[in-house]
Every structure is written in structure tokens, then in C-alpha cells.
């Protein structure tokens, strides 16, 4: 709210005090019964009480040494319904921390560290940016140098990193439900990728649902120019189609799909299944075709927990 009158901000506390005093007097006039003269025996006691309550010029000044103009009066603008809500304050702090810069680091077996940093830039579409880096430490002694070379096949590990951005947007009416976009750039390997996927979910029954997904991506690979040979860039276009049936009661999901790329120039089909054994533990398996004609089989078990 903006005030366009000629009052200075230093007079606002005085006006607020006058307003509050007037409100108190009005309420008091409504709830205090009509005044009646005290009994003769109570006159001395009443006079003593009024004398004690009256301010004295010799009382200490509680505002001494305080610059009233520098007080933060905005602290009084608090909603009475939520001013003392500690849980709401904690939730706001957690949301601010979640949307801020988030760092994580894990040690690798070769002595390097995998560092990930990410930050939310638009919560409505769940848009995030980040970087995945492999950071190596310089050996300080000859024994550390020999140990790093032995772990990495005779060579020292090199630092690398890639930047990425993701966003999830709504779909287009009844055609699809969700749109996901992802981009990644790796300057060291001269690689970049941008892709998008369209997802549509259809309930088949109370405990069964069907999810259809179409994905499209472009992969770009560059080569560094050397004397006598110029660098060039190659692009690979990929598309994939996936159908997934989920049984909520049993924790089972069955997936069937196919993919096509410009390097393979033929559809490669794949089927798989995933079973939830108990809390946070799943087992999945898949069988798929490869461009060389062989069959690729895999069986994995995973544990996932979020907190």
C-alpha cells in the first residue's frame, strides 16, 4: 500500500499508537459498566491506585539511545493467522533450499570425485539446469602418482564435465499428457544431445493403466581438427516408441517398444518387465535386438529410497 499524503514516515508510529489507543478506548467503553462513585471507605484506596499508575518524570526512558526512524516497522505487518505457525516457516525454508543451488559429491574407485550441481529455474514447469563433473585431484607424492596410474591403466585420470537442462511441460489437451525436454552438452568430448518425449496415460481399469510414450532426439558428435585433416560434425537422429502396462496391486509393469536411428536404419525391438519385491527393491529384465543381429539380454535388481 502506498500513501500519497504529506505525512513523514517518522509520524507513522505516532499515528499507529493513536489509532490503537482510540480502538482500546472504544472497546473499553462498550464493555465497562457505567461509572459509579466508590464507597466512602474505598476513596483512599482508589486515590492511591491512580497515583501509582500515573507516569513519573523520573522514570527511565525505555527508548533512550534508539533511533525511531531506523526501526523496521515492516515486522508488524504479519498475518495473525500464520504469524506463530512454526511449521509453515519451516516449509517455506525447505522450499527455498530446494529451489536453491544443490551440490552433491561421490568418490570414484579411481580416486576422482563425481560432482553434481543443479538448480531449479522455473518451478511451474519443473525446469532445472545443472552440471555433472568428474574432478580429479593432483597427486602430492610419488606413491599417490603411481597408485593413480595403476588404477587407471598407466595414465592419470582427467577432469571432465557436461552441462544439462531439463523441463517438464503440460501436454496438448487429450492428445498427450506431458512433454519432457532435455538438452546436454559435453565440451570435452565435443558431444551434444537434445531430445523431447510425449507421454499419454490411459486407465484400463481400477488397478491397471497403460502409458504410451514417443521420444525424439538428435545427437551431435564433433571431431577435433588435426594438421592436414579438418574437423567435422556428424548428427544422429533417433526415435523410439514405448508402451507400458502397470498393475498397481501386484507392483508389476510390462514394457514393449521399438527404436530407430539413422546409424542403424532399421527398427530394433525390445520387451521387458519389472517386479517390485518389497519396499524400494525391484527386479527388472529385458530382451532386445541389436544392430548386429544378436539378442541383448539383461537382468538387474535395484534399490531406491528418497528422503
Please report the pLDDT score of residue 145 as a whole number.
75
Please report the pLDDT score of residue 24 as a whole number.
41
CA atoms of 188 and 8, how far apart (whole Å): 61
For residues 287 and 271, is the Cβ–Cβ distance under 8 A?
yes
Model pTM? 0.54
Helices marked H in 63-182: 86-99, 142-151
The per-residue pLDDT string of the chain (307 residues; one tens digit each, 9 = 90 and over) reads: 344 444 443 444 444 444 444 444 444 444 444 444 444 455 545 554 555 455 555 666 666 666 666 666 665 555 555 444 556 555 555 555 555 678 888 877 766 788 888 888 877 788 999 998 888 877 778 877 777 777 777 777 778 889 999 999 888 777 888 999 999 999 888 899 999 999 999 999 989 999 999 999 999 998 766 666 767 788 999 999 999 999 988 989 999 999 999 988 889 999 999 999 887 899 999 999 998 888 999 999 887 665 5
Q: Please provide the DSSP assignment of 1-23 as one string.
A: ----SS--GGGHHHHHHHHHHHH
- Cα 243 versus chain centre, distance: 29
Q: What are residue 130's DSSP bridge partners?
A: 118, 164
Helix (H) or strand (E) run with residue 105 in it? strand 102-107
For residues 280 and 266, is the Cβ–Cβ distance under 8 A?
no
Please report the pLDDT score of residue 59 as a whole number.
64
Q: How far is CA 296 from CA 256, 263, 271, 300, in A?
A: 14, 18, 11, 13
CA atoms of 9 and 74, how far apart (whole Å): 12
Residue with cell 571431431: 223
Please report the pLDDT score of residue 87 as a whole number.
61
For residues 269 and 263, is the Cβ–Cβ distance under 8 A?
no
For residues 261 and 237, is the Cβ–Cβ distance under 8 A?
yes
Please report the pLDDT score of residue 85 as a whole number.
55
Amino acid at each position: 500500500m502506498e500513501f500519497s499524503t504529506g505525512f513523514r514516515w517518522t509520524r507513522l508510529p505516532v499515528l499507529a499508537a493513536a489509532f490503537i489507543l482510540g480502538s482500546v478506548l472504544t472497546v473499553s467503553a462498550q464493555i465497562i459498566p457505567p461509572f459509579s462513585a466508590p464507597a466512602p471507605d474505598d476513596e483512599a484506596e482508589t486515590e492511591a491506585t491512580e497515583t501509582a499508575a500515573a507516569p513519573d518524570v523520573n522514570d527511565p526512558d525505555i527508548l533512550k539511545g534508539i533511533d525511531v526512524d531506523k526501526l523496521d516497522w515492516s515486522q508488524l505487518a504479519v498475518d495473525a493467522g500464520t504469524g506463530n505457525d512454526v511449521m509453515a516457516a519451516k516449509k517455506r525454508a525447505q522450499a527455498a533450499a530446494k529451489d536453491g543451488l544443490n551440490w552433491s559429491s561421490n568418490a570414484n574407485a579411481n580416486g576422482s570425485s563425481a560432482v553434481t550441481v543443479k538448480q531449479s529455474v522455473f518451478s511451474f514447469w519443473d525446469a532445472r539446469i545443472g552440471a555433472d563433473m568428474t574432478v580429479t585431484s593432483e597427486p602430492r607424492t610419488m606413491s599417490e602418482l603411481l597408485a593413480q596410474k595403476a588404477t587407471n591403466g598407466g595414465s592419470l585420470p582427467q577432469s571432465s564435465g557436461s552441462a544439462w537442462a531439463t523441463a517438464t511441460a503440460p501436454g496438448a489437451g487429450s492428445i498427450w499428457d506431458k512433454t519432457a525436454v532435455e538438452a546436454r552438452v559435453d565440451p570435452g568430448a565435443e558431444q551434444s544431445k537434445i531430445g523431447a518425449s510425449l507421454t499419454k496415460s490411459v486407465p484400463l481399469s481400477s488397478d491397471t493403466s497403460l502409458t504410451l510414450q514417443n521420444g525424439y532426439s538428435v545427437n551431435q558428435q564433433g571431431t577435433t581438427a588435426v594438421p592436414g585433416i579438418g574437423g567435422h560434425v556428424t548428427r544422429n537422429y533417433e526415435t523410439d516408441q514405448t508402451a507400458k502396462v502397470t498393475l498397481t496391486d501386484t507392483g508389476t509393469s510390462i514394457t514393449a517398444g521399438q527404436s530407430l536411428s539413422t546409424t542403424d536404419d532399421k527398427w530394433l525391438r525390445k520387451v521387458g518387465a519389472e517386479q517390485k519385491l518389497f519396499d524400494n527393491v525391484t527386479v527388472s529384465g529385458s530382451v532386445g535386438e541389436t544392430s548386429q543381429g544378436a539378442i541383448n539380454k539383461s537382468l538387474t535388481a535395484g534399490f531406491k529410497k528418497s528422503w
